[in-house]
């Protein structure tokens, strides 16, 4: 089984799945195969794919639910197992998928978290705030303008954090203010770059030159650490935490929250749903429609709070 998982891991890498997705898939599969093996009194390494049947999958789902695992997490684990067996069938390792007829538990949809415009303004202003006087060294200026680029691209262009850290110089057209993005499944899309983002990138590159960072080759990373290495998704999250503290928003800010905010503010401003779908790189329109529910909920809350006869008196 370990050999098969190693082969599947290589398949995910060459299929351009993100590192985060690959690790999540493999973790889910190891958990499932360990469970399936234990039901037969085996170790995972001794389990054969032919020994896995729908009963084992249903038992795994039941065990997760009883253990308090949320429906969304259970659905993700099932998706990991389903994807693996699709690969196994393609490689002639099995003839049928034990997950084929098993449905994921229905999940109650939750509205994504987003920021109000006044909070976005405070966050953006925090990016290049110098804090204490005298902190104007090349290193500090580089860090501050890198923060600003991150904020402008996550909110101004709605990038996923994986898309952000994957950006190379060759993907950016500052003249025409366009970004070439490779999203999930390496699907390519061209999206606008805001004036604010273009300005932030230009200044950041000037500060980067003063730091004597690696030359800006087309394949070189846009966002670098102080050691001259491509930023990781974990680094971006830490940077956002720092920005949130400077802005004093008193709420946790994470990369996808700015993507949610981007979509919500576009629709609030009258953008077409199909246009927003294209900008976000969503395969299905249903993934984008959740933001229409979000704006409707905001409208309802505003009405309930503002209209004198919206609610009965206590």
- Residues classed as catalytic: 160, 184, 256, 259, 282, 291
Q: Cβ neighbours of residue 226 under 8 Å, at least 6 residues apart?
A: 139, 142, 143, 211
Q: Is 3 exposed, middle or buried (0-12, 13-18, 19+ CB in 10 A)?
A: exposed
Full strand arrangement of the beta sheet holding 178-182: 172-173, 178-182, 188-192
Q: Which two tokens stand for residue 30?
A: 């190891």
8 Å CB contact between 288 and 280: yes
Task: Please work out, in degrees rounded to the nearest 5, the angle formed at the alpha carbon of residue 173 by the alpha carbons of 171 and 175.
Answer: 170
Cα–Cα dist 57/68, whole Å: 17
3-state SS assignment for residue 168: strand
């Amino acid at each position: 089984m370990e050999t098969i998982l190693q082969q599947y891991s290589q398949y995910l890498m060459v299929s351009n799945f993100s590192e985060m997705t690959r690790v999540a898939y493999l973790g889910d599969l190891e958990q499932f195969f360990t469970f399936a093996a234990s039901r037969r009194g085996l170790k995972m390494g001794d389990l054969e794919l032919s020994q896995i049947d729908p009963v084992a999958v249903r038992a795994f789902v039941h065990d997760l639910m009883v253990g308090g695992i949320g429906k969304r997490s259970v659905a993700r684990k099932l998706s990991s197992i389903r994807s693996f067996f699709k690969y196994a069938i393609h490689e002639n390792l099995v003839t049928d998928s034990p997950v084929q007829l098993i449905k994921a538990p229905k999940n109650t949809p939750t509205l994504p978290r987003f920021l109000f415009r006044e909070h976005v303004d405070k966050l953006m202003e925090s990016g290049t705030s110098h804090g204490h006087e005298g902190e104007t060294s090349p290193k500090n200026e580089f860090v501050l303008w890198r923060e600003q680029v991150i904020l402008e691209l996550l909110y101004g262009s709605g990038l996923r954090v994986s898309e952000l850290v994957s950006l190379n110089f060759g993907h950016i057209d500052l003249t025409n203010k366009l970004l070439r993005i490779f999203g999930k499944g390496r699907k390519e899309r061209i999206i606008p770059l805001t004036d604010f983002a273009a300005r932030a990138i230009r200044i950041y590159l000037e500060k980067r030159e003063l730091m004597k960072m690696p030359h800006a080759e087309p394949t070189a990373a846009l966002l670098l650490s102080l050691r001259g290495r491509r930023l990781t998704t974990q680094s971006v999250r830490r940077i956002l935490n720092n920005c949130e503290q400077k802005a004093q928003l008193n709420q946790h800010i994470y990369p996808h929250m700015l993507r949610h905010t981007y979509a919500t503010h576009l629709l609030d401003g009258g953008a077409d749903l199909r246009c927003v779908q294209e900008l976000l790189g969503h395969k299905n329109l249903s993934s984008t429609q959740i933001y229409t529910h979000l704006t409707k909920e905001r409208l309802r809350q505003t009405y309930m709070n503002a209209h004198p006869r919206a609610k009965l008196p206590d």
